[in-house]
């Protein structure tokens, strides 16, 4: 494998690993390359990103490497997150939020197992909108992040407490995760639409 191709693959793997990151050992196993070569490639990539003034950086946290945005760009990310044109949640974000709301604390991997698709972007959106937050680390390999809802989540849907969420007593059987997920999404979507309608009426008045 050519060195440039290796760096390209590593960049893609860092992107897929998301905020949980990936260790040099894991990268070596996946790419079937020596770990010292992986470490050299990571350092080379990190320096290259800095020299070229890229919008992303490679950081090392708790032994794992991950892609991250630059702190000095934070004001622009905040503008995007709170832009009026992005005030409505997408179906993917609502579906992800509903799962987290009822099954918190929960990891990204567990969310993806229920949804059957990648959920990193949806989770990133929800974190940016302050609807979910990191509430701890799971006692599992890699210590993945556990997510839970925030007070802003309750405000967003007009709820006083989490116990005010729609009752799912008939959908708690693990054999019906697909049906349960769909119901969670539908219920939260209905509450969001109701909440949005109330806000629209108040603004018109």
> What domains does the chain contain, in order, with CATH numbers?
3-69 (1.10.10.10), 75-204 (1.10.10.10)
Contacts of 165 (CB under 8 A, 6+ apart): 101, 102, 159, 187
pLDDT digits (tens, 9 = 90+) for 41-100: 999 999 999 999 999 999 998 889 999 999 999 888 777 766 554 456 777 888 898 889
The predicted structure's pLDDT at residue 72: 92
- Can you list the alpha helix ranges (DSSP code H) found in 116-176? 120-128, 151-156
C-alpha neighbours within 13 Å on the C-beta side of residue 203: 6
What pLDDT digit, counting tens, does each position of 182-198 carry?
Answer: 665 666 656 555 545 54
* 122-145 residue pLDDT tens: 999 899 888 999 999 988 888 899
Name the residue with higher pLDDT: 185 or 165. Answer: 165
Q: Answer whether 148's CB lies under 8 Å from 107's CB.
A: no
How large is the angle between the packed helices 3-17 and 35-52, nearest 10 degrees? 80
């Amino acid at each position: 494998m050519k060195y440039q191709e290796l760096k390209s693959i590593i960049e893609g793997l860092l992107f897929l690993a998301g905020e949980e990151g990936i260790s040099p050992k894991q990268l070596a196993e996946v790419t079937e390359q020596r770990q010292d070569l992986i470490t050299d490639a990571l350092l080379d990539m990190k320096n290259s990103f800095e020299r070229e003034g890229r919008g992303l950086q490679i950081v090392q946290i708790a032994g794992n490497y991950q892609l991250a945005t630059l702190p000095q760009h934070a004001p622009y990310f905040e503008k995007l997150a709170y832009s009026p044109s992005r005030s409505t949640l997408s179906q993917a974000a609502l579906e992800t939020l509903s799962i987290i709301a009822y099954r918190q604390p929960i990891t990204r991997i567990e969310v993806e197992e229920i949804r059957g698709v990648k959920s990193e972007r949806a989770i990133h959106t929800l974190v940016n909108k302050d609807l979910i937050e990191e509430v701890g680390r799971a006692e599992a390999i890699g210590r993945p992040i556990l997510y839970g809802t925030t007070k802003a989540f309750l405000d967003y849907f007009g709820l006083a407490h989490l116990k005010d969420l729609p009752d799912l007593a008939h959908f708690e059987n693990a054999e019906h995760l697909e049906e349960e997920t769909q119901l969670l999404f539908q219920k939260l979507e209905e509450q969001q639409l109701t909440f949005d309608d109330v806000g629209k009426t108040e603004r018109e008045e």
